[in-house]
Amino acid sequence: MGAPFGFQWHLTDACDQRCRHCYLYGGGAAHAQQMSRDDMITVLGNCLEFSRSEDRPLRFFLTGGDPLLHPDFWDLAERLAAYGLPFEVMGNPFHLTREAAGRLRSLGCRRYQLSLDGLEAAHDALRGRGSFAATLGALDRLKDAGLTSCLMTTVTAENASEIPDLARLAAERGADGFAFARYCPVPGASPRMLTPQAFRDLLAVCYPLFTELARTTSTSYFKKDHLWALYEYETFGRLPGADRAEPAGTDRTETDGASGAQAGSRDAAAGAPVIDGGCGCGRDHLTILPDGSVMACRRLAGSVVGNALEDRLYDLWHGPMNAYRQYDRFTACSSCPLLAACRGCPAAAAGAASDPMPAASGTVSAMPAAFYAPDPQCWRYAAVSGQTKA
């Protein structure tokens, strides 16, 4: 069997929050679709056929909106459990009752991910009053149910200074995992991205903190962003590889998709980089929206390649998705030793570009032009290209 493959499946747009950085409701969009039960069964069959044809095991990430608001959420969760398919949930805290947490645990849910975007004032300013307290309450219910929890922060220029306190809070409150992901600009949203140097400074603060917390507490700290590879390369002189020593309890084997950011390597015979790490677009995951739209990456507006209700996923993967794995087009990364293991975040590159952004779902669109543009937060590229680092 090949490497694991992840489907990030948005069952519904329904959500009782209106986060300022949301890619669903950004720009004042107001659409609340949800996939019907029959369509979910069709999509699941398509995914299973993909798994067989591609010979890759599947992993599902059920999300929304808030997936628990979908009236057929439990029907789908029970189907996944019956097939023995691993699944995680990325949802809101408000509907995660004690009963829901226990039921998810009994169905074998691998993990429930909650967003925590700052300490109370900052988080509630972004996600709505009471959301911070509700998130910590949900975390307690996950613990009580014995369900693995993870807190995830979307890092912006506004909340970056609170990341260390959030990392400590995760340990104090007994979260099983903590990670942060970069904010990708969406039309109409107000948060700002960190500058390249500020992002590097954040990693420099977090590296020893995460290492220490992972050593002394039961919380795991996931180095999710691919630019961690750059930080470690510069700081410790090591390329990501099977022989590199990870600090205890830290883990960079998680990406937005499935199989993770493992080492990039070189095919000695061909001399070409073997792309087996870094951005998972075109490599290890797809996103499915409530209307069946299939996206290369949920954070990459305009990356719709087809529809899982009409198109064979295998055909999409070997057809329009080919446009997302033309690795020689990452010209900013071409001379970087981390090309195979990083390539930054093309969604951040596209989001930061000034081009008008196409709609997130609906019709199939041409690949966003800025997909292969330089990562706007890569401090290495900023330095070699002479861009300001401040």
Strands 285-288 and 177-182: unpaired
What are 377's two structure tokens?
């937060």
Write the interaction track for ligand SF4 spanning residues 219-248; mark x where CB under 6 A is met and - where it is not: -----------x------------------
Which residues, 6 or more positions from 181, have their beta carbon under 8 angstroms from its beta carbon?
152, 153, 154, 155, 224, 225, 256
Closest contact distance (angstroms) between CB of 11 and ligand SF4 is 20
CA distance 38 to 17: 27
Sheet holding 149-155, edge to edge: 250-251, 220-222, 177-182, 149-155, 112-115, 87-90, 58-63, 5-10, 285-288, 293-295, 304-307
300 forms part of the interface with ligand SF4 (CB under 6 A): yes
Which residues, 6 or more positions from 20, have their beta carbon under 8 angstroms from its beta carbon?
125, 126, 189, 190, 191
Write the interaction track for ligand SF4 spanning residues 132-151; mark x where CB under 6 A is met and - where it is not: --------------------
15 forms part of the interface with ligand SF4 (CB under 6 A): no
Residues contacting ligand SF4: total by CB under 6 A? 23
Q: Where are the alpha helices (DSSP H) in the chain?
A: 37-54, 73-83, 98-106, 120-127, 131-145, 163-172, 196-216, 227-236, 313-317, 346-352, 379-384
284 forms part of the interface with ligand SF4 (CB under 6 A): no
Q: Which one of residues 150, 347, 367, 370 is an interface residue with ligand SF4 (CB under 6 A)?
A: 347
| Alpha carbon distance, N-terminus to C-terminus of the chain | 46
196 forms part of the interface with ligand SF4 (CB under 6 A): no
286 forms part of the interface with ligand SF4 (CB under 6 A): no
381 forms part of the interface with ligand SF4 (CB under 6 A): yes
289 forms part of the interface with ligand SF4 (CB under 6 A): no
Q: Which one of residues 80, 100, 116, 297 is an interface residue with ligand SF4 (CB under 6 A)?
A: 297
What's the full length of the chain, in residues? Answer: 390
Q: Which one of residues 21, 56, 127, 380 is an interface residue with ligand SF4 (CB under 6 A)?
A: 380
332 forms part of the interface with ligand SF4 (CB under 6 A): yes
343 forms part of the interface with ligand SF4 (CB under 6 A): yes
Q: Which CB sits closer to ligand SF4, 56 or 380?
A: 380
Stretch that binds ligand SF4, among 29-37, 140-148, 278-286, 309-317 (CB under 6 A): 278-286
Q: Which residues bind ligand SF4 (CB under 6 A)?
A: 230, 256, 279-281, 297, 299-300, 332-333, 336, 338-339, 342-347, 375, 378, 380-381
